[in-house]
Structure 1
Amino acid sequence: MMLLKGCFLVIFILTFRNLSLCDAEEFKGENTTVTSSTGNHTKKFILKMPLKDYRNETKKKVKKIKLKDGRSATEHDIGSMDGYLLMMIRLTSELPTKKCPVLLVHGMFQSSDRFLNQDKSRSLAYTLDDLGYDVWLFNARGNKYCQPHIAYAPHVIKSEFHNYSYEEIGCFDLAAAVDYILSITTFKKIHYISHSLGGTFFLVLNSLVTDYNEKFDRAFLMAPLGYHTTITNTNLQKELDDPTSLHEALIKVNTFEIFPYEAYGPIQDMVPDNCLGGKTWENICNELQIQKIMGIKSYNNTVAETRGGSTKILIQWAQNIKNKKFHRWDFGDSKNVEEYDGKDPPEYPLNAITVRTKIIYSPDDDMVKDTDIRALAKQMKNATTRKVKRANFKHDDFIDGEYVMEDVYSGIIKDLEYPKPLVKRVNGTKTPETKSKPTSGSLADIPWSALLSLVGLLLFIFISIISCCKKKDTNGACTT
């Protein structure tokens, strides 16, 4: 009987531990290297180019650092499939139990600094770390943390190094980051939280490389850039109305990146208005509010502090704005036929995305319209939307807003802590979303791990009572 009791005790312990895990169950694995399983899938969809999987050839370094608030973190060097050397930051919580990994992804021409420079009282990264989540900060190729390439020097072979749009970042950089996190942690899936173009990376990857839908548990996209049937900033729309001519003009003056290195040099101060390397396009820089986008606090910033990324990112976004679609890179009619078997670039197949996704938007966003956000979510199988209730909430307020913790982050954290079941469709439409309640709900809302733990507990109590009551003292009472 004691042996039986011991067995049920072990069952109870093993099942109870699942209560602290996210829906992405923990698993044990000995593999500590990034696999190359995505190569064939990505090659099928991405732009035609000679590819070699550099991820396992790259020396992976882990460096301990201290963040500005004094907490510990580590920098992780990884390689993308097409040879870019990337760096991620991992916060190391001091809590004894780590929860599901969470990947925070920055927006257009930004870096992980946008999350780390938030005030501590409204910092999403620090709050999640304090709650025990395994927090990772992404950096896309071309920003100040991801300048190296295995073959191209960024300031020597500029046209090759900066020959990427946000499609390559999604299918190569984000894929490499996800694979790396899963390879060195004990989880099958991660959570994903992004702002602006960071949401676009997610949409691109999971629509084109559908295997990755199985690697995300929950996704929270704050104001992702996708559909642009209308744009609030009509001046910016006018400036970007001819993306083909703009791209050709930038190439002619040897400008391939935001804040081109050759225009400012490595240490000279720069003026953010000239983000494209000259006065010719300063209206674009001003209308983009490049200073806000990149988190530049003053007009005196060295090039090392403000590296942004390829101008092709801006051009692809302009193509989507002009064509009022969310589509792949437009090469022009003749090249499109060669690349895509049609004159028009194909739209991203959003209905292939199955990850549970919450898209958070503001009706007063100056970069993406609420109607386009809702149209985007409608195309996805398991997406819902949440509107920010505060009036005059702008695009950069998702990072810099004074009340962003109250307006946005607290809702994300609540959804992580008390996840709801998958969104269901009835006759092709999604069922209305209800607020999550941590202490009530139907049996179907209870995680299977909790049910299993409850069964284990009841069995343990039942066996203990039987064992106990077989031993009676002289008064007929159960002994302990």
Structure 2
Amino acid sequence: MALYDSPACIDFILKKTNKDKVTYIGHSLGTTVFYVMSSMRPEYNEKILAHLSLAPVAYLGHMTSIVRLLVPIAPVIYETINTLFHGELLSRSPLLDEALKLFCTLNKAQMIFCQNLIFVIFGKDPDQVKPTIVPAYLGHDPAGASGKTVYHLSQFVRNPNTFRQFDYGSPAENLQHYNSPTPPDYNISAITAKVALIYGQNDLLATEKDVKLLYPQLPNPIGLIRVKFPAFMHQDFILAKDSVPLFANKILQILNSLK
């Protein structure tokens, strides 16, 4: 995604619009993709007017989500996904669609149950995320992920304060890929594009501690912005009913300042 897909999208947009730069707005893993792209393909920094990171994910050592309980068995989960599902996790299928419909959308009690599953994983915010949003949300998410990507993220949790390339599990395998027994860190100092970090203090995945660990390492930071709503959590960036006053207006303000 970071080495090929995002650069291809950026080049396509620039060619179609006849522009020199794009503004990249990412959420969660979308921010991780940007950091990896701009550190490993630094020439793309010149094509970025600014990057706005919503719920930034580089470091995950302080995450408090219930998914942290799965980190110790992440290698087993990874091998199972590879064996049974060809390396794909929760890809959309008629079976998954029907299961989500049966367990989460048929009545209000089911919607409340699945709303609380969202809260356990991402952070609790019943003021912004109502049960009635659950059917629409599950119509789009989960949308599938690479098992390798998820396993890679678990390595960020297992190794606090590190943002490094994929660990293949043994010094010998890492030597084959990196000429080093341990994976190299991503070079954050190579991310020379302007970057603003926008986060919620109730985010169980992209915690305030981890966001603040990243910010001073960025060469060209333009804003460390905490959403002014104490319960604001990870998925509020796509689900919050008051998104405009809580953070969208701030995004527009930043975009207008770049012109």
Q: What TM-score range do you get, normalising by the shorter chain?
A: 0.7 to 0.9
2:31 is aligned, of 199, 203, 228, to 199
| Aligned mates of 2:188, 2:101 — CA distance in 1 | 35
Residue pair 1:232, 1:368 contacting (<8 A) in 2 also: no
Q: How far apart are 1:409 and its partner, in Å?
A: 1.2
Per the alignment, residue 18 of structure 2 pairs with: 186
2:182 is aligned, of 334, 339, 344, to 344
Q: How large is the RMSD of aligned CA atoms in angstroms?
A: 2.9
Structure 1 counterpart SS, 2:135: coil
Shift in CA distance, 412/240, structure 1 to aligned 2, threshold 3 Å: same
Per the alignment, residue 157 of structure 2 pairs with: 321
Q: Which has the higher contact order (CA 8 A, sep 6+)?
A: 2
Shift in CA distance, 268/355, structure 1 to aligned 2, threshold 3 Å: closer
Structure 1: unaligned runs, 5 residues or longer: 1-168, 275-284, 420-446, 448-480
| Aligned mates of 1:342, 1:273 — CA distance in 2 | 49
Shift in CA distance, 268/209, structure 1 to aligned 2, threshold 3 Å: closer
Q: Output aligned runs, 1:230-269, within 5 Å.
A: 230-233=62-65, 235-260=66-91, 269=98
| Aligned mates of 2:97, 2:57 — CA distance in 1 | 32
Residue-by-residue CA offset, 1:457-477 (whole Å, 9 max, x unaligned): xxxxxxxxxxxxxxxxxxxxx
Residue-by-residue CA offset, 1:350-383 (whole Å, 9 max, x unaligned): 1100111111112211211111111111111011
Residue pair 2:82, 2:147 contacting (<8 A) in 1 also: no
Q: Output aligned runs, 1:133-144, within 5 Å.
A: none
| Aligned mates of 1:360, 1:176 — CA distance in 2 | 26
Structure 1 counterpart SS, 2:51: strand
Structure 2 counterpart SS, 1:170: coil
Q: How far apart are 1:318 and its partner, in Å?
A: 0.8
What is the letter of the counterpart of residue 185 of structure 2? Answer: E
Per the alignment, residue 102 of structure 1 pairs with: none
Shift in CA distance, 272/252, structure 1 to aligned 2, threshold 3 Å: farther
Residue-by-residue CA offset, 1:270-294 (whole Å, 9 max, x unaligned): 24899xxxxxxxxxx97647xx9xx
Per the alignment, residue 401 of structure 1 pairs with: 240
Q: Output aligned runs, 1:283-362, within 5 Å.
A: 288=121, 297-298=134-135, 307-324=143-160, 325-333=162-170, 334-362=172-200
Residue pair 1:240, 1:318 contacting (<8 A) in 2 also: yes
| Aligned mates of 1:397, 1:349 — CA distance in 2 | 30
Structure 1 counterpart SS, 2:215: helix
Residue pair 2:60, 2:205 contacting (<8 A) in 1 also: no
What is the letter of the counterpart of residue 212 of structure 1? Answer: Y
Per the alignment, residue 270 of structure 1 pairs with: 99
Structure with the higher fraction of residues in helix conformation: 2
What is the letter of the counterpart of residue 193 of structure 2? Answer: V
| Aligned mates of 2:184, 2:202 — CA distance in 1 | 30
Structure 1 counterpart SS, 2:4: helix
Count of aligned positions:
233
Q: Output aligned runs, 1:14-53, within 5 Å.
A: none
Shift in CA distance, 364/305, structure 1 to aligned 2, threshold 3 Å: closer
| Aligned mates of 1:346, 1:362 — CA distance in 2 | 30
| Aligned mates of 2:194, 2:91 — CA distance in 1 | 39
| Aligned mates of 2:71, 2:224 — CA distance in 1 | 28
| Aligned mates of 1:266, 1:388 — CA distance in 2 | 37
Aligned residues with identical type, % of pairs: 26
Shift in CA distance, 305/209, structure 1 to aligned 2, threshold 3 Å: closer
| Aligned mates of 2:97, 2:216 — CA distance in 1 | 47
What is the letter of the counterpart of residue 163 of structure 2? Answer: F
What is the letter of the counterpart of residue 270 of structure 1? Answer: A
Asked if residue 391 in structure 1 is aligned to residue 230 in structure 2, the reply is yes
Residue pair 1:332, 1:343 contacting (<8 A) in 2 also: no
TM-score, normalized by length of structure 1?
0.45
| Aligned mates of 1:260, 1:403 — CA distance in 2 | 30
Asked if residue 375 in structure 1 is aligned to residue 209 in structure 2, the reply is no
Q: How far apart are 1:251 and its partner, in Å?
A: 2.5
| Aligned mates of 1:323, 1:344 — CA distance in 2 | 12
Structure 1 counterpart SS, 2:34: helix
Q: How far apart are 1:249 and its partner, in Å?
A: 2.6
TM-score, normalized by length of structure 2?
0.80
- Deviation larger for 196-205 or 382-391: 382-391
Residue-by-residue CA offset, 1:164-212 (whole Å, 9 max, x unaligned): xxxxx11111000000011111210011111111111110100000000
Structure 2 counterpart SS, 1:386: strand
Structure 2 counterpart SS, 1:345: coil
What is the letter of the counterpart of residue 321 of structure 1? Answer: V
Residue pair 2:82, 2:88 contacting (<8 A) in 1 also: no
Shift in CA distance, 215/272, structure 1 to aligned 2, threshold 3 Å: farther
Q: Flag the structure with larger Rg.
A: 1
| Aligned mates of 2:168, 2:14 — CA distance in 1 | 35
